[in-house]
Amino acid sequence: MRSMGVYLHIPFCVQKCAYCDFLSAPATRQRRQEYVSALQREIAWEAEQYAGYEVKTIFFGGGTPSLLEAEEVAAILECLRNYYQVDADAEITLEMNPGTADKDKLLKLKKCGINRLSIGLQSTDNAELQMLGRIHTYEDFLQTYHQARKEGFININIDLMSALPGQHMDSWVQTLQRVAALQPEHISAYSLIIEDGTRLHDQRDAWASVPDEDEDRQMYQVTKQILAEHGYHRYEISNYAKEGYECRHNCIYWQRGVGHTADYVGFGLGACSTMGSMRWDNTDDMERYISVFAEQNFERYDSRLIGNGSVGESAKEAVVRLFEREQMEEFMFLGLRMMNGISKQEFADSFGVDLNDIYSEVLRKWEKQGMLIQNDDCVRLTDAGIDVSNMVFSDFLL
């Protein structure tokens, strides 16, 4: 039986953060309920084509999935278990913002099967949080984190963000030290990318300063040093974990080679799926999504939702087949994000050709410049290569 990961998009938030360009927005309680019902129908409708797969990871992303009632999360998971082969040891992650889950909700979430929390802190500096448009303070985060520990969560990630407008190294170091002292199992530390169309981009004239490229690289170096001192190993460019607590779901995206879970399906508004050589997105139009999976298009049978007609397909958009060239490119630039790099043998097993027959010139170029190293089986970035990783990755586009 093949294995796969499942992503569930929950496109709701209390308010849009100043830097956010994700598919999310505030919504009424009624709209959230309508969406959860539609999501369950989509899950049920699509089940037959995944009968030969075992679900190894489930990830509730958003938006702010913790805005859902615990009973709604439980209903979604029950639907998945009813229709799919879910591994008893599956990693089941729920993204959470501080202040959106009290003791009762946390207890219910754990009881229904959530075994990994990903808490969006971003900074321990309240002025920086306010600038980012976050709805919480550092103190709110501490309360949520400690309550989660009391309720028995033993696998927690904390999201952090560097290179913020007005941020200095001292502030970033303080955030790292404070969070590392809490000893979460996993820390994600990303540089802020200010996207067009966000409030932060529109407010750029009011910024005091933004860390430049050199300062950004210094922050990455400091991150690695401080987190290593606290027992974290860097396993991906922006992700650090205690031994054995690497995010299994995200590794599905990064490791698309033989021996790794390569397939993932996304349910919900705008969710992306990649199964074999096929890739598609769901519609990002909420009204259309709700309409496609409206209750009147389905009938109940044997306590399960069974599709009535070919309505399920119409939620999919931009269905494309990845050519072998594109699969090779992804194998390289996603796999090289991992500190272990990529396996030449896995490349050969996947594509029936030697890696050096395809990329020998590119490999020699960056190896000569000290940006990557290779041996008989492995190719990986050096520390210097990580600093210019996007430049290196672009050379692997055929």
Identify the CATH number of the domain in which residue 99 sits: 3.20.20.70
Of 13-17, 27-31, 142-146, 299-303, which range is least confident?
Answer: 299-303
Domain boundary (227, 254, 281) is at 254
259 is a domain residue: no
CA distances in angstroms from 318 to 50, 136, 153, 273, listed in the order given: 20, 37, 38, 11
Query: Is the CB of residue 78 less than 8 Å from the CB of residue 43?
Result: no
Considering the domain architecture, whether residues 73 and 219 belong to the same structural domain is answered as yes
Answer with the residue of higher pLDDT: 350 or 379. Answer: 379
Residues 135 and 227 in one domain: yes
Question: Does residue 46 sit within a domain?
Answer: yes
Q: Say if residue 82 is in the same domain as residue 183.
A: yes
373: β partners:
380
264 part of a folded domain:
no
Transcribe 312-347 into DSSP letters. Answer: GGGGEEEEEEPPHHHHHHHHHHHHTTBTT-EEHHHH
Give residue-wise pLDDT tens across range 261-271.
Answer: 479 999 999 99
Task: Verify that 334 and 248 share a domain, yes or no.
Answer: no
Give 323-365 pLDDT, tens digit per residue. 999 999 999 999 999 999 999 999 998 899 999 999 999 999 9
**Rg for the chain, CA atoms, rounded:** 22
Token readout for 65 is: 């999935």
Return d(Cα 107, Cα 120) in angstroms, integer: 19
Residue 34 lies in a domain: yes
Look up tokens 């027959």; give the residue: 357
Cα within 13 Å of Cα(95), Cβ side:
19
Whether 224 and 187 have beta carbons less than 8 Å apart is answered as no
Tell me: do 335 and 247 sit in the same domain. Answer: no
Asked if the structure places residue 23 within a domain, the reply is yes
Going by DSSP bridges, is the β-strand pair 278-282/316-321 parallel, antiparallel, or unpaired?
antiparallel
For residue 307, tell me if it sits in a domain. Answer: no
The closest of 360, 355, 352 to 335, measured between CA atoms, is 355
Between 302 and 191, whose confidence is greater? 191
Across residues 298-317, what is the average pLDDT? Answer: 53
353: domain range? Answer: 324-394
Residues 56 and 204 grouped into a single domain: yes
Q: Encode 78-110: b = buried (16+ Cβ within 10 Å), e = exposed.
A: ebbeebbbbeeebbbbbbbbbbbbeeebbbbbb
289 assigned to some structural domain: no
> Do 150 and 42 fall into the same domain?
yes
- 150 with 70, same domain: the answer is yes
What the block records as the tokens of 330 is: 């992804």
- Dihedral class, residue 298 (left if φ above 0, else alpha if ψ from -120 to 50, else beta): beta
Same domain for 236 and 341, yes or no, is no
CA distances from 134 to 123, 126, 159, 314 (A): 10, 9, 13, 35
CA distance 321 to 120: 34
Count CB atoms within 10 A of the CB of residue 135. 15
Write down the residue that tokens 């799919």 correspond to.
Answer: 84
How would residue 19 be classed by pLDDT, with cut points 50, 70 and 90?
A: confident
Q: How confident is the model at residue 185 (pLDDT cuts 50, 70, 90)?
A: very high
Does the residue 383 lie in any domain?
yes
Q: Are residues 63 and 189 in the same domain?
A: yes
Q: Which of 53-62, 255-264, 315-324, 357-366 has the lowest mean pLDDT?
A: 255-264
Query: Shortest CA distance to 35 belongs to which of 283, 221, 384?
Result: 283
Of 7, 1, 66, give the one whose Cα is nearest residue 249.
Answer: 7
**332 in the same domain as 190:** no
The whole-number pLDDT of residue 213 equals: 86
This prediction has a pTM of 0.93
Shared domain for 14 and 152, answered yes or no, is yes
| CATH at 380 | 1.10.10
> Which of the listed residues 254, 280, 315 is the one where a domain comes to its end?
254
Quote the pLDDT of residue 299.
54
Last residue of one domain, picked from the residues 254, 277, 305:
254
Number of domains in the chain: 2
